[in-house]
Amino acid sequence: MKILGSEITPYKTYLNRRKFIKGSLASAMLATVTSSAFAKHDSDLSIYTNNLNEKDKLNSYEEITTYNNFYEFGTHKKHPHLNSGNFKPRPWTIKIDGLVKKPQTFDLEKILSNVTIEDRVYRLRCVEAWSMVIPWQGFQLSELIKMAEPLSSAKYVQFLTVFRPEEMPGQQKRTIIWPYREGLRMDEAMNPLTILATGLYGHEMPNQNGAPIRLVVPWKYGFKSIKSIVEIRFLDTQPETSWETLAPWEYGFYANVNPNVNHPRWSQGTERRIGEFKRRETLMFNGYEEEVAHLYKDLDLTKFY
Amino acid sequence: MFSTRNFNRSKPVLFILILFPSLLWAYQFVTGNLGVNPIEKLMDELGLMALRLIIITLMITTLSNIKPLKSIVVIRRMIGLFAFYYVCLHFSTYIVLDHFLDIQFIIQDIIKRPFITFGFISFLFLIPLASTSTNNMIKRLGFKLWKKIHYLIYPVAILASMHFYVLVRADKTEPVIYMGIIILLLLHRIFKRLTRPQLAQ
């Protein structure tokens, strides 16, 4: 698999780790090699090492790439892995419009040449009460927002997934209204934890995980982390989001991980970490309380779920 | 014309065929071949199998109205009991593997979440059905009462399909198909009932 120069991470340990992955070794080996390599990160990695519990262990490449919710490729967890082979993530452009100085379309390569790709190891908590720990590569969304030059009137950011029913068989069926849409408040979008990811485990982003570029907002349920983004709009009103439109009584705009606010059909108090036998307690804001709780201090989280 | 004997002879084969998936999944579970989220997968497969078997028992009754298939009812009990077997495995996976015998949580879950409530009531209704599924019980209860008890299969089927319907997040095609089949089978029974007295006249 070809890896772009821009996606090579600055960390020695990571390069070592990637050699194993490039040889596409068995996932079992991956799991043991990588998790021990990760623990040896040496420079300024506090932004994520601090945010992971000592009990957190990386999920394997196989787990991360064969168990996905990406309805564009089908509604079963294995569908994205099985049905995404025809998807062509290159070339890729991202259209920037709405309340910006100048609406424009960026070539992905151009964006990547202007940002620093870094490692971010995050917990991902799905609204369905399972979770994983994923080593992403990407850059802070705030960097792209700076490039986009939004007007001061812009209070929200909306994201749209690509619509290509011929390459994404799930889009041939009206399970949800295509294209998939998501959104963030501007301060959430600017938070240093919020990234646009372009790779995982040192690979270019696999198709089933949202190639070539996707959002990762680790303190929110996974469905907020929209995949295969082609358009970003800056707005002054709260944008429509796909799951909220589909079932507003179940999925809110905020979708912050919150063990105290249950989904109407199941409890959010616990979760199954993929690869583990016993359920774990779900953490407030998925364990990123320190970084993001201040964003919501005036918000009733039971009402704005 | 298929005789009772034909159907009775097929029983051992059916028995193995219907039992086999549970053994396969148990083996795959133990050896770690049930995918990335094996507990969820096991629970889904067991539950789906149970629902399909429940629908098949309803179909058998309908099919037995067709003259050449009259004797097919002799395999119904076995399939019904297998449905109960899969429901029990499904339920115990939920209790033991999914929630690790956290009884307090499970009780809350059953009361508070409609889809679990549907599933649980469906399971409860199946208990009297399964426990009266012997020739001896039919004799002891009398056929009329026994038949009345076994009407419980209708709420069981409806609740089980609702349990599945509510659980699915977006693409409801499969649960809707099952519900459709159940409704058709029930409508057929109602239709039969309404037309029967006229035929007698």
CATH number for the domain that contains residue A232: 3.90.420.10
Residue in chain B closest to A243 (alpha carbons) equals B170
pLDDT at site A51? 61
- Mean pLDDT check: name the lowest of A102-116, A179-193, B16-30, B107-121: B107-121
What mean pLDDT do residues A220-230 have? 98
Query: Among A199, A198, A202, which residue's Cα sits nearest to residue A30?
Result: A202
pLDDT greater than 80 at residue A2: no
Cα end-to-end distance, chain A, whole Å: 40
Q: Which domain holds residue A126?
A: 5-248
- In this predicted model, what pLDDT tens digit does every residue of A137-186 receive, in sequence order? 999 999 999 999 999 999 999 999 999 999 999 999 888 899 999 999 99
Half-sphere exposure of B25 (CA within 13 A, CB side): 20
Which residues from A are below 8 Å from B97, CB to CB?
277
pLDDT at site A6? 37
The reply to whether residue B36 touches residue A75, judged by beta carbons under 8 angstroms, is no
| pLDDT band at A208; cut points 50, 70, 90 | very high
Which residues from A are below 8 Å from B37, CB to CB?
67, 77, 130, 272, 274
Distances in Å between the alpha carbon of A143 and those of A115, A181, A195, B148? 7, 21, 9, 70
Kindly report the pTM of this predicted structure. Answer: 0.81
The reply to whether residue B113 touches residue A71, judged by beta carbons under 8 angstroms, is no
Number of domains in chain A: 1
Residue A181 resides in a domain = yes
- Mean pLDDT check: name the lowest of B52-61, B85-94, B96-105: B96-105
Q: Comparing B21 with B114, which gets the higher pLDDT?
A: B21
Q: How far apart are CA A297 and CA B6, in angstroms?
A: 72
Q: How far apart are CA B13 and CA B164, in angstroms?
A: 29
| pLDDT band at A49; cut points 50, 70, 90 | low
Residue A210 corresponds to which tokens in the numbers above?
């949202």
| pLDDT band at A32; cut points 50, 70, 90 | very low
Q: How far apart are CA B27 and CA B32, in angstroms?
A: 8
- In this predicted model, what pLDDT tens digit does every residue of A79-109 receive, in sequence order? 999 999 999 999 999 999 999 999 999 999 9
B121 and B159 Cβ atoms separated by less than 8 Å: yes
Residue A231 corresponds to which tokens in the numbers above?
């358009």
3-state SS class at A256:
strand
Residue in chain A closest to B39 (alpha carbons) equals A277
pLDDT at site A22? 40
Residue in chain B closest to A276 (alpha carbons) equals B37
3-state SS class at A261:
coil
Close Cβ partners of A114 (under 8 Å, ≥ 6 residues apart)? A143, A147
- What part of B 99-158 touches A (C-beta under 8 Å)? 99-100, 105, 108-109, 112-115
Q: Is the ipTM of this complex over 0.90?
A: no
Q: How far apart are CA A220 and CA A289, in angstroms?
A: 11
Q: Are strands A203-204 and A181-185 parallel, antiparallel or unpaired?
A: unpaired
pLDDT at site A46? 53
Beta bridge partners of A263: A266
Radius of gyration in angstroms for the set of CA atoms belonging to chain A, rounded to a whole number: 18
- In this predicted model, what pLDDT tens digit does every residue of B144-178 receive, in sequence order? 999 999 999 999 999 999 999 998 887 889 999 99
What mean pLDDT do residues A237-252 have? 93
Give the one of B100, B115, B171 whose C-beta lies nearest to A265's C-beta: B115
B9 and B72 Cβ atoms separated by less than 8 Å: no
Place of tokens 């787990």: A63
